[in-house]
Amino acid sequence: MPYELQLKLKENPLYKKYLRENSIWYKRLIRDPSSFSLFREAMRKDYQLRPTDKLNKAMDAITFFSQLMSAMQS
């Protein structure tokens, strides 16, 4: 694995955590370091860090609070 890739993985605690939880990525990254973008996308998908995930969380919170307010008014 190239040294630059090792530094990227060590600098980000989420990358380290995801590697520990999904050890198959060690093998994939060692064999093909260019698959780092796939690794990053898989991590973001599993940890729900994509912009669409954040938007869905915000929409869920808005819906919850609007339902709470309507229940309080009844």
What are the residue boundaries of the structural domains of the chain, listed by start? Answer: 3-73
> What pLDDT digit, counting tens, does each position of 22-57 carry?
999 999 999 999 999 999 999 999 999 888 888 988
Average pLDDT, whole number, for the chain?
93
Alpha-carbon gap, residue 29 to 36, rounded angstroms: 7
pTM of the model: 0.75
CA–CA separation, 47 vs 24, rounded Å?
Answer: 17
